[in-house]
Amino acid sequence: MTASVKQAPRVALIALCVAVVVWLIVKATQDGTTFLQVTLNGITLGGLFFVVAAGFTLIFGLMRVVNMAHGSLFLFAGYLAYVAQTHWFQSSTSQFSLTATSSVSVTGWVVPLIFATVAIGLVGLAIQQVLLRWNQGQDLRQALITIAVSVIFADQLLAHYGGISQNIQQPTNWPNSITVGSFHYGFFRLTVVLGSAIVIGALLYLLIKRTRFGMIVRAGVDDRVMLSALGVNVQLVFAGAFLIGAMLAGFSGVLGGTMIAVTPGNDTLFLLDALIVVIIGGMGSFTGAAIGALLLGLVQSYSAIYLKFGSTDLTNYAILSSFILVIAVLAFRPLGLFGRPA
């Protein structure tokens, strides 16, 4: 009797998952074009989540530091790229005005991307060296410090750039969409965002699995004390990991600012998404981060459209679906899909 009671929550979750799959199949048969559109939205959103969470996974997995300022770096990069684009590649007289007829070359998008990525990498490195280096092993203190940094960033970004959403404009000589028959889908989302996620995932795999730095990272995840005892400069490894993680936050901030918008509040939103991805995938696992990002993107995309039952519209509660996903995964894998005991 006790065993059956313990299994009841898992049985309920399995039944819920089956019901969701059946519901999606029904929706796909009713309107295949809309279902394909929503699915691609979820996949490309998952690609953006992966780029955001990849740097967070690298920092969290290696140093065991929950960098609560990661979302702030994401948003700051978007503003840096936006201002760089408007100042360097636009003829607009206003600092914060991009008209619909403004023309942006590939250089006008790539240069702000590189500038913001490098600048945010250096900001992240400064945070690690000045604030976090002296608190290694004190997880609570490091978390509180980065929370304070994120609050300061949020206030200053709001004071300097205002509360109105801005958009980083993609090159105007790129196609707006990819067309297959009568189906159209955004070129930037499918090629640049998803393509960047795939390339970054492959490069991170090679970095972690095929290089000496990757060997040190994996050794640090398993036994940081032993790594130090072997004479490895752990401080240098930590600095390099933070630099790469912050640069990934900056890169994803520019992608997000182009794909969605540069909006106050996105720092908290994408930090939460990165946390969810890491929890689902397992701490320190890039494979888990990729799968977790894909699952989260699909869940958010489907729930934003398909949480409707007759005349009852529950799409306002779509945010809850992300936490239901976390509960469902942790019920079967308490350490995440690819998590290992510390």
Work out the percent of the chain whose per-residue pLDDT is above 70. 90
* Higher pLDDT among residues 194 and 311, named by residue: 194
- Please report which confidence band the pLDDT of residue 6 belongs to, taking 50, 70 and 90 as the band edges: low
CB-count burial class (<10 Å; 0-12, 13-18, 19+) for 321: middle
Give pLDDT, residue 123. Answer: 96
Report, as an integer, the average pLDDT of 245-263.
Answer: 95
Is the sign of the CA dihedral 120, 284, 267, 186 positive or negative?
positive
How many Å apart are CA 4 and CA 18, to the nearest integer? 20
Nearest residue to 163 (alpha-carbon basis) of 248, 251, 20, 261: 261
- Model pLDDT for residues 33-62, shown as the tens digit of each residue: 899 999 999 999 999 999 999 988 888 766
Per-residue pLDDT for 76 more than 80?
Answer: yes
How many Å apart are CA 48 and CA 2, to the nearest integer? 43
- Model pLDDT for residues 130-188, shown as the tens digit of each residue: 988 888 778 788 889 999 999 999 999 999 998 889 999 998 888 888 888 778 888 99
Nearest residue to 238 (alpha-carbon basis) of 255, 254, 262, 221: 221
Per-residue pLDDT for 225 more than 70?
Answer: yes
Give pLDDT, residue 9. Answer: 66
DSSP 46-97: HHHHHHHHHHHHHHHHHH----TTHHHHHHHHHHHHHHHHHHHS---SSTT-
Among the ranges given (114-118, 219-223, 321-325), the one the predictor scored with the smallest mean pLDDT: 219-223
How many Å apart are CA 189 and CA 37, to the nearest integer? 12
Give pLDDT, residue 270. Answer: 94
How many Å apart are CA 155 and CA 264, to the nearest integer? 10
- Site of tokens 């779509």: 318
* Cβ pair 88, 111 in contact under 8 A: yes
- Model pLDDT for residues 294-311, shown as the tens digit of each residue: 999 999 999 988 887 767
* Higher pLDDT among residues 125 and 230, named by residue: 125
Please state, rounded to an integer, the average pLDDT across all residues of the chain: 86
How many CB atoms are located within 10 Å of the residue 217 CB?
23
- Please report which confidence band the pLDDT of residue 253 belongs to, taking 50, 70 and 90 as the band edges: very high
Give pLDDT, residue 179. Answer: 82
- Site of tokens 């500038």: 115
How many Å apart are CA 310 and CA 320, to the nearest integer? 20
Region of 338 please: left (phi>0), alpha (psi -120 to 50) or beta.
alpha
How many Å apart are CA 235 and CA 135, to the nearest integer? 12
- Model pLDDT for residues 80-122, shown as the tens digit of each residue: 999 999 988 865 444 444 444 467 888 999 999 999 999 999 9
- Tokens found for residue 93: 């007289």
Is 20 strand, coil or helix?
helix
Among the ranges given (2-16, 74-88, 219-233, 255-269), the one the predictor scored with the smallest mean pLDDT: 2-16
Which residues, 6 or more positions from 57, have their beta carbon under 8 angstroms from its beta carbon? 277, 278, 281, 283, 284, 285, 286, 289
**Looking at the DSSP assignment, which residues form a beta bridge with residue 180?**
183
Give pLDDT, residue 95. Answer: 47
Among the ranges given (65-79, 127-141, 163-177, 236-250), the one the predictor scored with the smallest mean pLDDT: 127-141
DSSP 225-291: HHHHHTT--HHHHHHHHHHHHHHHHHHHHHHHHHHT-B-TTHHHHHHHHHHHHHHHH-TT-HHHHHH
Pinpoint the alpha helices (H) of 92-193. 106-127, 139-161, 187
Report, as an integer, the average pLDDT of 206-223.
Answer: 78
Nearest residue to 255 (alpha-carbon basis) of 115, 112, 48, 42: 48
Give pLDDT, residue 98. Answer: 44
Pairing outcome for strands 308-309 and 183-186: unpaired
- Tokens found for residue 312: 């009852």
Per-residue pLDDT for 3 more than 60?
Answer: no
